[in-house]
Structure 1
Amino acid sequence: MSDIEFTHGIEPEFEQARDEIVKSLTESTVFEKNPELKRCLPVIVEPERVIQFRVTWEDDEGNTRINKGYRVQFNSAIGPYKGGLRFHPSVNLSILKFLGFEQIFKNALTGLPIGGGKGGSNFDPHDKSDNEIRRFCQAFMTELHRHIGADIDVPAGDIGVGGREIGFLYGAYKRLQQKRDFGVLTGKDTRYGLNGSFIRPEATGYGLIYFVLNMLTYMGQDIKGKYCAVSGSGNVAQFAAKKLIDLGAIVMSLSDSRGALIVKDAAKPFTHADIDFIADLKVRKGSLEEIKDDRFTWLPGQRPWKNLPKVDIALPCATQNENDADDVEALVKAGCFLIAEGSNMGSTDAAVQKMEALRVAYNESVKAGKPTGQFWYAPGKASNAGGVAVSALEMAQNSQRMTWTPARVDEELNNIMTNIFNESVDNSATYTREVLGEVKASANKADAAVSALPSLVQGANITGFIKVANAMKVHGDWW
């Protein structure tokens, strides 16, 4: 590890993602049962290729503007590089390497033939006109187009890159390449002959809730009537909130970069109409602070976690490291027993350690015959894999020159999230050093109180790593 750290220098976000994988592997029995896989570790933490370029574009005043563009093509062992493009002022190489590294294992968990990559720019679309965004996207694709393709690298959207940006990027790619290569980008519109996929905008949020439903079933719980704290207000948060409302849960919060919007009275929670208004607000580049409704409290500069008197389930859906150890403590004090990430690496290392300690404490109480303090945590690479899963399904539809029905895509998504959950549970039970007792792939309510809760962190990391490492071995990438 010291050699790896020297090679990479100071890249805090990437180091955090890398160290979590290494910790899961070295604290389990993976290398004892498969000693040859250890040789893969220094190879898999190095990107296959990092592309960095200048993006020069013109603003509405005629000024020349310059941004940095990146594409981290991290691992193609299982399939073409697959991962989003992020346009945000915070974008740097460390963040994109962390996202690309996480993407390797997340994509492997889906069971679909896609590798891991990530890209983007420090361009901020928030205060730009449509024409400025179009000119930037065209300039960005002028360099990126030579490095991507349906069987090489398939970018998608991420923070700051939605359907509008994907449309501009695809139009530029088509002109530069002089061909309609539908499979080169995912997250495309389903209209205008762009061959997008139904359920793609909803996929990450819906997939998160499908994963949570599997967790709740295992725990002997039901989603109906549960108080749910959600952070963020983009696609992931919006569609997670809508699915929660449909299932009878009570959505207590949403947030954006300027603060948190909290329900004053649980009897008057967020509704579909509220979420639709927020979706329109985001298109207009507004903030949640503009919402003037006496049902809500606006908390400037804050996240929801410490400001709710009652929480059962917390879903971080905004950005990385938005949930810290003291947030976990406040949530547990408010009654929270489940945290699942809709964002990538939504919890700090300190928060993850605290949540895993709470899970272990519950398991110890089960072994002692006095179950108390039930608590479970799902990392983003497992619980938010729905977005990239449907992106891969979009690639499949593009290859077939077909568009599947929304019902079919939704069913496929639900099945994929259930498979990710089951594999994570099974591999955690197989490789963990923790004495769990009996672990069931699906517990019913009668025996849930005496079912141990395996580590989904270890389970997801181990499952993804073994799949990719074995593929790399077959290709001769390490011996």
Structure 2
Amino acid sequence: MSYVTDVLEDLKKKNADQPEFIQAATEILESLKPVFEKHPEYQKTGLLERYVEPERIVIFRVPWTDDEGNIRVNRGYRVQFNSAIGPYKGGLRFHKSVNLSIIKFLGFEQILKNSLTGMNIGGGKGGSDFDPKGKSDAEVMRFCQSFMTELYNYIGPDTDVPAGDIGVGSREVGFLFGQYNRIAHEHHCVLTGSGLEYGGSLVRTEATGYGLVYITEEALKQRGDNFEGKKVVVSGSGNVAIYAAEKAIMLGATVIAMSDSSGYIYDENGIQVPFVKEIKEIKRGRIFEYLDYFSKEDLTAKFVEGSAHIWDLPCDIALPCATQNEIDKDSAEKLVDHGVKYVTEGANMPCTLEATQIIQKNGLVYLPGKAANAGGVATSALEMAQRSSRLCWSFEEVDSRLKNIMVNIYNSIDAAAKEYGYENDYVIGSNIAGFIKVANAMMAQGIV
């Protein structure tokens, strides 16, 4: 067996109870085999064995009191995976599905994603199995304050700078930052995605979705094409999905479907994103409420239960922005049968390994999440730069920088794929381009 295979097999044994982490590690490590063939010096320092192990894992209890006075206890996590190129950077996810496997897979992917931005930020991730849905503002505040009271010990502006993720929006970031500030007595940039009133950046809300479309636009451009007239399906209806849909429409596409866990809305004439924004960002409602915005005479949309069925719809471009493993073998085969030409991942690992293989085997342009959804963390790094210099750039300036970063990411993963003999394989290109920078930094810093 090869060096990479040996490391992967050992990793599987040590982490047998962590399927999401093993899935991510398998996809990444398998694609790095040609790197270790070209750079045998990496093997001599045990670089890969060190790379796959987090530098630090923190697990802690989070006690809080609900509105009825009952004591609740959740579990909190922070995985600080790799700081070779900069302070740990990665979101906090509050969702009932959160466990160590999911946090480790997200943190492992984050190393490469952050490296691809070209900025000096390392990889980390965190969160809790706390679910903000159905909780009052007061309950969310009490949970966030308890969570930050412990997390405070492990983060800082030059150590680890978390951000939001699923279940952690502007409300949660505000409560978390307020508690950090209360303990530290200093106004640090220790959480990105902050409100504009206390140091946040313009475009941060839109960044992941916009960046997703910018990298897809570049892939289209390199093939003599554009978004004009394309039919687009966007799964999900959270932050990433909403702003990916918005930007795609700005570029001339028609977004025909969006979803949440209850099902999806479909309109051949195009979804009206402002209504989805109001439902999700203001009302915190469900996607089927979209139909309530139209009279019977004007209603052309329909709601279909079962969000997985959104991939039954024919389209030109698929943007999976909901959650991990939402596109399985059957869904991938439907995408191929319907003649979809581009699949760009807005969520983290939304395609199973089998689905990825089907998509690539059939020649679709497939841009993986570690490259395609890097716009969020890239803009977080831009926010860090603005806050450290006490500046606030205009929307247009941040948006322009974001677009340049996403174009550069496409060019770097395309170049890496070609250099190693895997033209148009952007999974391998992303993994190699992101890994090389981190690997060289680790080599320079010795056995640590």
* Shift in Å, 1:397: 0.6
1:260-339 correspondence runs (5 A): 260-263=264-267, 266=268, 268-280=269-281, 283-292=282-291, 293=294, 294-308=299-313, 310-339=314-343
Per-residue CA deviations over 1:121-173 (Å, capped at 9, x if unaligned) read 00000010000000000000010001100000000000000011000000000
Aligned equivalent of 2:427:
457
Per-residue CA deviations over 1:39-86 (Å, capped at 9, x if unaligned) read 311110000000000000000000000000000000000100000000
Aligned equivalent of 1:186:
192
Per-residue CA deviations over 1:72-106 (Å, capped at 9, x if unaligned) read 00000010000000000000000000000000000
Per-residue CA deviations over 1:307-340 (Å, capped at 9, x if unaligned) read 32x3000000011111112112112222211100
Aligned equivalent of 1:429:
418
2:101 alignment partner, one of 81, 84, 94: 94
Distance of 1:32 and 1:62 partners within structure 2: 60
TM (norm. structure 2) is 0.94
Tell me if structure 2 keeps the 8 A contact 1:155–1:186: yes
2:437 maps to amino acid = K
Distance of 1:238 and 1:304 partners within structure 2: 19
Tell me if structure 1 keeps the 8 A contact 2:259–2:287: yes
2:444 maps to amino acid = V
- Look up the SS of the partner of 1:125 in the other structure: coil
Does 2:223 match 1:219?
A: yes
Aligned equivalent of 1:394:
383
Aligned equivalent of 1:252:
256
1:403 maps to amino acid = C
Can you give the 5+ residue segments of structure 1 that lack an aligned partner in the other structure? 360-374, 437-453
Aligned equivalent of 2:242:
238
Distance of 1:255 and 1:104 partners within structure 2: 29
2:78 alignment partner, one of 60, 67, 71: 71
Distance of 1:180 and 1:126 partners within structure 2: 29
Aligned equivalent of 1:54:
61
Tell me if structure 2 keeps the 8 A contact 1:230–1:237: yes
Does 2:133 match 1:126?
A: yes
* Shift in Å, 1:177: 1.1
Per-residue CA deviations over 1:221-245 (Å, capped at 9, x if unaligned) read 2210000000000110000111011
- Look up the SS of the partner of 1:89 in the other structure: coil
Per-residue CA deviations over 1:13-48 (Å, capped at 9, x if unaligned) read 00011011111112xx32222112243111100000
TM (norm. structure 1) is 0.88
Tell me if structure 2 keeps the 8 A contact 1:324–1:350: yes
* Shift in Å, 1:7: 2.1
Does 2:438 match 1:468?
A: yes
Distance of 2:279 and 2:338 partners within structure 1: 26
1:295 maps to amino acid = T
Aligned equivalent of 2:123:
116
Per-residue CA deviations over 1:164-223 (Å, capped at 9, x if unaligned) read 100000000011112111x111000112xx100000000000000000001101222221
Distance of 1:290 and 1:275 partners within structure 2: 9
Does 2:13 match 1:12?
A: no
1:185 maps to amino acid = L
Aligned equivalent of 2:366:
377
Aligned equivalent of 1:157:
164
- Look up the SS of the partner of 2:114 in the other structure: helix
Tell me if structure 2 keeps the 8 A contact 1:255–1:304: no
Per-residue CA deviations over 1:322-370 (Å, capped at 9, x if unaligned) read 11121121122222111000001111000111112112xxxxxxxxxxx
* Shift in Å, 1:260: 1.2
Tell me if structure 2 keeps the 8 A contact 1:318–1:343: yes
Structure 1 residues 275, 247: closer, same or farther in 2, change over 3 A? farther
Aligned equivalent of 1:369:
none
Does 2:11 match 1:22?
A: no
1:207 alignment partner, one of 207, 211, 221: 211
Tell me if structure 2 keeps the 8 A contact 1:238–1:279: no
Distance of 2:447 and 2:160 partners within structure 1: 19
Tell me if structure 1 keeps the 8 A contact 2:312–2:331: no
* Shift in Å, 1:2: 2.5
Greater CA drift, 245-254 or 297-306: 297-306
2:154 alignment partner, one of 147, 155, 159: 147
* Shift in Å, 1:304: 4.6
1:419 alignment partner, one of 408, 425, 435: 408
Distance of 1:276 and 1:87 partners within structure 2: 20
1:270 maps to amino acid = I
Tell me if structure 1 keeps the 8 A contact 2:276–2:290: no
Distance of 2:356 and 2:447 partners within structure 1: 32
* Shift in Å, 1:305: 3.6
1:33 alignment partner, one of 14, 38, 43: 38
Distance of 1:278 and 1:381 partners within structure 2: 28
Distance of 2:308 and 2:266 partners within structure 1: 10
Distance of 2:214 and 2:405 partners within structure 1: 9
- Look up the SS of the partner of 1:159 in the other structure: coil
Distance of 1:231 and 1:5 partners within structure 2: 31
Greater RCO structure (CA 8 Å; 6+ sep): 1
The share of aligned pairs that are identical, in percent, is: 53
Tell me if structure 2 keeps the 8 A contact 1:167–1:188: yes
1:405 alignment partner, one of 394, 405, 423: 394
Tell me if structure 1 keeps the 8 A contact 2:346–2:373: yes
Structure 1 residues 377, 238: closer, same or farther in 2, change over 3 A? same
Tell me if structure 2 keeps the 8 A contact 1:305–1:331: no
Distance of 1:397 and 1:273 partners within structure 2: 29
Aligned equivalent of 2:3:
none
Tell me if structure 1 keeps the 8 A contact 2:264–2:310: no
Structure 1 residues 15, 55: closer, same or farther in 2, change over 3 A? same
Distance of 2:76 and 2:276 partners within structure 1: 33
Can you give the 5+ residue segments of structure 2 that lack an aligned partner in the other structure? 1-7
2:142 alignment partner, one of 119, 135, 138: 135
Per-residue CA deviations over 1:380-417 (Å, capped at 9, x if unaligned) read 00000000000001011111011111111101100100
